Structure 1
Amino acid sequence: MRQARQLLLSPQDYSLLTDLYQLTMAACYTGEGIENKPASFELFTRRLPDQFGYLLAMGLEQVLDYLENLSFSPEQIQALQETGIFAHAPDRFWSILETGEFLGDVWAVPEGTAIFPYEPMLRVDAPLWQAQLVETYLLNVINYQSLVATRAARIRDVAGEEVKLLEFGTRRAFSPQASLWAARAALAGGLDATSNVLAALQLGQKPSGTMAHSLVMAFTALSGEEDEAFAAFSRYFPTAPLLIDTYDTLDAAKRLAAQVKGGETQVTGVRLDSGDLVALSQAVRSHLPEATIFASGDMDEWEIQQLTQAGALIEGYGIGTKLVTGQPVNGVYKLVEIDGIPTKKESSDKATYAGRKQVFRHGDYDRLGLAEDAPEAGETPLLQQVMQQGKRVFETESLDSLRQRSRQSVAALSPNTRQVDNGSPVTVQISPSLQRLQEKMRYE
């Protein structure tokens, strides 16, 4: 078997970026002649991450890009055949891969919409083998981007609208690809900018950042003066914040204050990356009253809330590790209907609701109903058709639009749902029609 030296992903590889069982199930469906039966799968989460009161749906744009580009090349089919795993697969299996492209419909809630357990973030209506095959990629995209977007929204909610929030997570994201998705989700969830240059430029944004301790250490080692590092960096980037905690934070602040007073330099901002950030920010403010104070170092919504409540004088945060990692979103992708027949999973603690569904949002509650149910007074259906027969039916949304929807969606939630400690999810009612369907299936 051939071995690639670089594990890099391109759109041409989308078809093989899946779990093996998606392909073996597709082969089984084909051998039994049911591969093209109309099927519906829904992607949802059974529970929220610990202490979360909501989840922001995110990643739809990358899902649609994947589905539009899904195809198998002759080389990919040959590689699958060479594994020997599919030796007993029917010949027609290879034929559908050769000619196959995604031809289904997709319904989804708009990105940046708050959702709750058992509410579908998207539904795929497609021939069975196609709807099955795409499960792995869809879960990867939606689970990860929804996690990062939600963390970003919670951080923005705690920090307030005036605080500048920067995404610094590239070095701790789970992969180079994940770092791009994390930057997108963080900005869509409410952060102002990212330090990831590629992500920023691809998203039409300006990257943002400061400086590292290594620059200060290098200049200090060569010249014996920390101030040489500040002076050199300011010559080329006069508006960028200076990192002043490499050695003695307060001593650096005092020296810079003296230089500002003497007209030797200007300091627009400083970054603190360690120490008692409450006391240091207050002391630095007394010496550099006009400088914006940024803080970084394992920041999350709980740390920012504590700093704010303790009286820290910080106007900006760089947020990395805890934004782009952490407990995962437990999104699942389940068959809910095949050939017009509702299906459900009844495993202990993992039961699902049968039937194609719609989420109806009211100001005081959500209602989970069947797709054919009509909205009641004051309700808005959340799932919208975004793809028809494999083609998009809506325009790509700007980051500004996603950020605005995220903020509006979170602002509409109750304080109990928004709180960072043990947030309470919105009550999700089950419509009478959906309840009757579940009871009918239990009876049968």
Structure 2
Amino acid sequence: MSPILSVPPATLPLQHCPPSTLVPSLSHCSLLTDLYQLTMAACYCGEGLEQRPARFELFVRKLPPDFGYLVAMGLSQVLDYIQSFSFSSAQIAALQDTGIFGHAPDRFWTLLAQGRFTGDLWAVPEGTLIFANEPILRVDAPLWQAQLIETYLLNTINYQTLIATRAARIRDVAGADALLLEFGTRRAFSPQASLWAARAALAAGFDATSNVMAALELGETPSGTMAHALVMALTAMAGDEDQAFTAFHRYFPGAALLIDTYDTVAAADRLAQQVQTGAEIPAVRLDSGDLVSLSQAVVDRLPDTQVFASGDLDEYEVQRLRAAGAPITGYGLGTKLVTGTPVNGVYKLVDMDGVPVMKEAAAKITYPGCKQVFRTVDQGQFRGDRLGLMTDCPQPGEYPLLQPMVQAGERLYGPEPLATIAQRTQAQVALLPDPLRRITAPAPAPVVLSTALEALTQATRRSSAKNTAKNTAKNTAKNTV
């Protein structure tokens, strides 16, 4: 077998193939994992370690460029997944048919067949601002369980945290009164990602999404305008762009009209004439061109009409438009909201059966032990965080961020309303001093380590060095003999 485990496609029987759509349901998601999670779990079983208590923490070592903070998001989907975590007989049969696990102990298969998540999970509530090296969540569970859920947790938290952070930055520069719509479905990296992107944007302060499925499943009303195709199609048949506008308003009165298909200013002139004869044009959308000059030209002609802008916008462009005085009241954001530099969250073992552990590889050092984040807010402003141990006591003015969410496998709370999460997000962003809120070259967050965590880190490093020296001496002696 190759050192990198792989399976020729022909070895997977047809009856075990997943649906061709590859859109997972929770009943299939236990297999939505990296192969090495399963091979490690099998190894743990063989070595008798699978039920030993382990503690993993999910955090980000370094924020994406120009990000002064992150908005934690995705916890609700993590909790849904944990509650549904199990392996069906068909899934187990599919794994067995791969041939990869031919040497795995029988105990491994029994564990999968009977297993459920029985551990604890602590996390910061969604919409909480976090910084580098601060745990977004912590899992305390039997080793095999804590290991197997890693991939799904990272996938869920990393992507939604990215979208929520971008959305919060956009809301911050656009202002509280701007209408913000999520338009990213066609640019998201998959159908599943489009649903999560819509949710994360709404939970971070956007007003609506154009994704119909996401909106309806979340109890929201989808929002959108029209595309150039409608204008071109009806113009081709009627020979008149105005007929397209009239037809659309016939069925969707009051909807925003897309007026930049041909000549934006000429379209605005004609619409102004219609307004003089009693027509109502509540809103128009601009999707191209110089949005500053075009929006001003439209408002000059249609002073009572709101201008909505779209077209590869992000927080930098929204800030530029506002600084230039563009009379734009709303923005549709898609491609640059749902893509971009990823949030590179990691999931690392910090304690194994009561023994603190840490990774010491260059540029990838982790802190050992069971941690808590203590935040200080004074006189309505964020003052800083202290990354400490769960055994640390809060200092005056501090409060802990990580809260229990799952205990002994049982979820403690139901899903929070998106409006509640959005309020938390915006309230926490508002607490940050301006240097941390900058969307270019933000100041580093004031995060310090507690005395106890520093001491544990040094002690763990010394212990690791002793073990390394012992192993080196043992190998030297063996080679000498």
Q: Is the structural similarity TM-score above 0.5?
A: yes
Aligned-residue Cα RMSD (Å) equals: 0.7
- For residue 390 of structure 1, the aligned residue among 406, 409, 419 is 409
User: Aligned to 2:394, what secondary structure does the other structure show?
Assistant: coil
In structure 1, what is the Cα distance between the partners aligned to 2:21 and 2:215?
Answer: 24
SS in 1 for 2:54: strand
> How do residues 176-325 of structure 1 correspond to structure 2 at under 5 angstroms?
176-263=191-278, 265-325=279-339
Residue 368 of structure 2 corresponds to residue 354 of structure 1: yes
Provide the rounded CA distance (Å) in 1 between the counterparts of 2:462 and 2:165.
39
Select the structure with the greater relative contact order (CA < 8 A; seq sep ≥ 6): 1
Counterpart for residue 184 of structure 2? 169
Partner residue, 2:385: 366
CA distance in 2, matches of 1:375, 1:81: 50
How far does residue 443 in structure 1 lie from its aligned partner after superposition? 2.2
| 5+ long unaligned stretches in structure 2 | 1-11, 378-382, 464-481
Contact 2:23 2:191 in 1 (8 A): no
- Is the counterpart of residue 338 in structure 1 residue 352 in structure 2? yes
2:149 is matched with which residue: 131, 134, 137? Answer: 134
1:417-432 aligned within 5 A:
417-432=436-451
Question: Residue 479 of structure 2 corresponds to which residue in structure 1?
Answer: none
Give the counterpart letter for 1:345 in structure 2: K
Q: Secondary structure of the equivalent of 2:388?
A: strand
TM-aligned CA deviation for residue 399 of structure 1: 0.6
Q: Secondary structure at the match of 1:170?
A: coil
The correspondence for 2:430, drawn from 407, 411, 435, is: 411
> Is contact 1:52-1:424 (8 Å) kept?
no
Summarize deviations over 1:380-423 as a string: whole Å, max 9, x none: 10000000111111221101100000001101111000010011
Name the TM-score, length of structure 1 as normaliser.
Answer: 0.99
Alpha-carbon deviation of 1:374? Answer: 1.1
Secondary structure of the residue that 2:151 maps to in structure 1?
Answer: helix
* Residue 275 of structure 1: how far off its partner (Å): 0.5
* Counterpart AA for 1:396: P
Match of 2:98 in 1: 83
Tell me which amino acid in the other structure corresponds to 1:271.
R
Describe the superposition over 1:176-226 as per-residue Cα deviations: whole angstroms up to 9, x where unpaired: 011010000001111100000010011111100000000000010001100
Contact 1:116 1:425 in 2 (8 A): no
**Secondary structure in structure 1 of the residue aligned to 2:23:** coil
Task: Report the AA paired with residue 305 of structure 2.
Answer: A
1:337–1:354 Cα contact (<8 Å) kept? yes
CA–CA distance in 2 between the matches of 1:74 and 1:441? 42
Q: How does 1:34-53 map to 2 (within 5 A)?
A: 34-53=49-68
Shift of 1:425: 3.1
> What amino acid is the match of 2:386?
R
Please give the secondary structure, in 2, of the residue aligned with 1:250: helix
1:254-279 deviations in Å (ceiling 9; x for gaps):
0000011012x210000000001000
1:439 aligns with 2:420: no
Q: TM-score, normalised by structure 2?
A: 0.91
SS in 2 for 1:271: strand
Give the match for residue 5 of structure 2: none
CA distance in 2 between counterparts of 1:421 and 1:83 reads: 49
Q: Which runs of 4+ in 1 moved over 4 A?
A: none
Check whether the contact 1:45–1:330 (CA below 8 A) recurs between aligned residues.
yes
Once the two structures are superposed, what CA deviation does each residue of 1:215-251 show, in whole Å capped at 9, x if it has no partner?
A: 0000100011000000000011111100000000000
C-alpha distance after superposition, 1:323-368 (max 9, x if no partner): 0000000100000001100010000000000001000001211000
Paired letter, 1:222: M
Rg bigger for which structure? Answer: 2
String of CA shifts for 1:281-310, please: whole Å, max 9, x gaps. Answer: 001001111111000000000000111111
What does residue range 3-18 of structure 1 map to in structure 2 within 5 Å? Answer: 3-4=17-18, 5-18=20-33
Q: State the alpha-carbon separation in 2 of the partners of residues 103 and 415 from structure 1.
A: 43
Deviations along 1:63-116, one digit per CA (max 9) or x if unpaired, are 000000010000000000000000000000000000001111000001001100
User: Unaligned 5+ residue runs, structure 1?
Assistant: none
Query: Which segment drifts farther, 387-396 or 92-101?
Result: 387-396
Asked if residue 148 in structure 1 is aligned to residue 163 in structure 2, the reply is yes
Alpha-carbon distance in 1 for matches of 2:23, 2:460: 46
What SS does the corresponding residue of 1:117 show, helix, strand or coil? coil
